[in-house]
């Protein structure tokens, strides 16, 4: 049997999730196919979580055109979808005359991109705003409109709302074959399941070029850009209140210091183009590089404050033309004809294959631009012939099904804690001591479909603290087993091949 849809979105990261929610506004049958066991487990899981002000990207790129409109959407999105968001601002700091010239360049670019309230501030005000910065700083470019979110909470919120409005989200379905036959796209997955759709949206992240090649589109290649990041102990506190950038390089915005919306500070990432799309290894050199750069910005940061490290792979798009094709592309630029896209930019919209829409090469500031990218994809589908009829029953509101104890404790709202415990005794059982995560929160996450350790971690923060799940792993395994019936030895960290318990546990005397 073949499941048939109007639109199938391949990929359930932030971009696929935003597109799914956008399309759920219409009378359409929509499915999302995600190869991982849970949503946001690809590129999105290691996103830095910054909602950028918008002064980095050139104005003539899609990045430059979409970042500020995307930024403006987040206040309303936060209200509708109930995810944490803080407009804390961002600073690009300068230490020399050359870097001050760089700030002026980005100030001018930001103005062209319509970044609001952008200004260059002097040393005295800068150190008042951020007293832990290196006292050798001279000045900074300040964008107060920037902010931070939790990328996977945002992704979960988008997906949950899309599902509320009728979208079918299917995880653990890796697309291995895609072809167009008599105007219909036919999909076969690794599990030998079959799907068909009138339209395909390619939001496959690192693998978007491989999906595109299945239908004969070969004009771009995705190059994984490896970034190592480090999370600092919560006890270090918020060394900075705002996102801190150095002056950037051609490849990267540099090593950042990021006060996450959840509390701890994150530093990084590096930027290294590699070939392997599944290389998530961290290195000693990466650690040294990140902290050397971070200490230039905030001298009190120490590598011993790091409690964990991780790698994100950004899907950087590059043209895959022959030398002759590249020559004609250069000629086009001289004659004023716009090339198909600029290397490193987003690849969004219609293609040479009718009904196949790309949302590829989405790296920074893709998180910020995601709501606008979703609207562009909707417009591309309309232009390609899809009928978009508004669904008056569309409900934009999604509420979190459980309150996080940590956020209530941070606000010192102890009466609210008492109320929660009276309403649900599971709030009195602390499962993760480092992050104050209760049984109530973990059970709620399991009921929402998160049945791996990483899924629980992303949904609740259990296991992200100083002991890195040393205390709570066995308790979470037990709760997943109790709620789902999955044998403990079959529960995984992040999907098949990452099982935690390698052999069945022996039963005790009580059976």
CA dist 361 and 342 (Å) reads: 11
CA dist 68 and 246 (Å) reads: 21
Q: What is the pLDDT of residue 507?
A: 56
Q: Please compute the mean of the pLDDT values over residues 492-510 and round it to a whole number.
A: 79
For residue 321, is pLDDT > 60? no
* Residue-wise pLDDT tens digits, 391-416: 999 999 999 987 888 888 888 888 98
Could you give the 3-state DSSP secondary structure of residue 239? coil
Average pLDDT, the chain: 93
CA dist 217 and 211 (Å) reads: 9
Q: What is the pLDDT of residue 406?
A: 86
Q: What is the pLDDT of residue 426?
A: 95
Q: Please compute the mean of the pLDDT values over residues 121-150 and round it to a whole number.
A: 98
* Residue-wise pLDDT tens digits, 455-490: 999 999 999 999 999 999 999 999 999 999 999 999
Q: Checking phi first, is residue 469 left (phi over 0); if not, alpha (psi -120 to 50) or beta?
A: left
User: Same CATH fold, 405-490 and 82-149+227-313?
Assistant: no
For residue 328, is pLDDT > 80? no
Identify whether 390 is preceded by a cis peptide bond (ω within 30 of 0): no
Q: How confident is the model at residue 249 (pLDDT cuts 50, 70, 90)?
A: low
Identify whether 365 is preceded by a cis peptide bond (ω within 30 of 0): yes
> If you compute the radius of gyration of the chain from its CA atoms, what whole number of angstroms results?
23
Q: What is the pLDDT of residue 410?
A: 81
Q: Tokens representing 332?
A: 């086009």
Residue 56 a catalytic site member: no
User: CA-CA distances (angstroms) from residue 139 to 100, 125, 127, 286?
Assistant: 7, 9, 9, 28
Q: How far is CA 73 from the centre of its chain?
A: 16
Strands 50-51 and 90-94: unpaired
CA dist 476 and 462 (Å) reads: 9
Angle CA(184)–CA(187)–CA(192) in degrees, nearest 5?
Answer: 145
Smallest CA-to-CA distance from 461 within 438, 483, 493, 484 is with: 438
Q: Please compute the mean of the pLDDT values over residues 317-327 and round it to a whole number.
A: 59
For residue 324, is pLDDT > 80? no
| Greatest pairwise CA separation for the chain in angstroms | 83
Q: How many residues does the chain have?
A: 511
For residue 326, is pLDDT > 60? no
The dotted CATH code for 82-149+227-313 is: 3.30.9.10
Phi, psi dihedrals of residue 224, rounded to the nearest 5°:
-70, 125
Q: Which CATH number fits domain 2-46+152-219+320-383: 3.50.50.60, 3.40.50.300, 3.20.20.210, 3.60.21.10?
A: 3.50.50.60
> Domain map of the chain by residue range?
2-46+152-219+320-383, 82-149+227-313, 405-490
CA dist 80 and 397 (Å) reads: 5
Q: Please compute the mean of the pLDDT values over residues 214-237 and round it to a whole number.
A: 95
For residue 335, is pLDDT > 50? no
Do 91 and 131 touch, CB atoms closer than 8 A?
Answer: no
**CATH fold of 405-490:** Arc Repressor Mutant, subunit A (1.10.10)
CA dist 225 and 315 (Å) reads: 6
Q: Tokens representing 400?
A: 């979190």
């Amino acid at each position: 049997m073949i499941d048939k849809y109007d639109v199938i979105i391949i990929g359930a990261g932030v971009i696929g999730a935003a597109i799914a929610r956008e399309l759920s506004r219409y009378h359409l049958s929509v499915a999302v196919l995600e190869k991982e066991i849970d949503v946001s487990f690809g590129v999105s899981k290691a996103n830095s979580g910054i909602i950028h002000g918008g002064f980095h990207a050139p104005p003539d790129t899609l990045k430059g055109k979409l970042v500020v409109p995307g930024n403006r959407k987040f206040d309303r999105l936060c209200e509708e979808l109930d995810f944490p968001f803080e407009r804390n601002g961002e600073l690009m700091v300068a230490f020399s005359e050359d870097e001050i010239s760089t700030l002026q360049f980005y100030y001018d670019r930001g103005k062209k991109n319509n970044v609001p309230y952008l200004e260059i501030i002097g040393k005295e005000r800068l150190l008042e705003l951020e007293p832990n910065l290196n006292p050798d700083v001279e000045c900074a470019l300040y964008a107060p409109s920037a902010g931070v979110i939790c990328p996977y909470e945002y992704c979960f919120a988008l997906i949950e709302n899309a599902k509320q409005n009728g979208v079918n989200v299917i995880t653990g379905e890796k697309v291995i074959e895609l072809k167009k036959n008599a105007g219909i796209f036919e999909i076969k997955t690794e599990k030998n399941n079959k799907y068909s759709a009138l339209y395909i949206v390619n939001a496959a992240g690192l693998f978007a070029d491989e999906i595109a090649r299945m239908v004969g589109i070969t004009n771009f290649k995705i190059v994984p850009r490896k970034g190592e990041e480090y999370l600092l102990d919560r006890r270090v506190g918020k060394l900075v209140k705002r996102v801190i950038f150095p002056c950037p390089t051609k490849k990267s915005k540099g090593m950042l210091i990021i006060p996450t919306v959840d509390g701890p500070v994150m530093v990084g990432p590096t930027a290294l183009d590699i070939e392997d799309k599944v290389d998530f290894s961290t290195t000693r050199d990466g650690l040294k590089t990140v902290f050397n750069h971070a200490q230039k910005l905030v001298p009190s940061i120490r590598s011993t404050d790091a409690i964990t490290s991780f790698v994100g792979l950004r899907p950087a798009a590059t043209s895959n033309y022959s030398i002759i094709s590249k020559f004609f592309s250069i000629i086009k630029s001289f004659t004023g004809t716009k090339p198909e896209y600029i290397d490193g930019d987003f690849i969004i919209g219609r293609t040479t294959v009718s009904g196949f829409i790309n949302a590829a090469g989405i790296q920074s500031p893709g998180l910020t631009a995601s709501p606008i990218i979703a609207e562009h994809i909707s417009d591309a589908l309309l232009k390609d012939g899809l009928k978009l009829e508004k669904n008056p029953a569309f409900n934009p509101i999604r509420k979190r099904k459980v309150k996080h104890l940590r956020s209530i404790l941070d606000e010192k709202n102890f009466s609210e804690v008492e109320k929660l415990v009276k309403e649900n005794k599971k709030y009195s059982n602390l499962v993760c001591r480092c992050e104050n995560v209760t049984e109530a929160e973990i059970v709620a996450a399991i009921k929402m479909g998160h049945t791996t350790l990483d899924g629980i971690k992303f949904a609740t923060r259990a296991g992200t603290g100083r002991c890195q799940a040393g205390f709570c792993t066995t308790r979470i395994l037990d709760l997943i087993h109790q709620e789902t019936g999955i044998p403990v030895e079959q529960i995984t960290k992040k999907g098949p091949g990452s099982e935690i318990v390698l052999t069945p546990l022996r039963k005790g005397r009580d059976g």
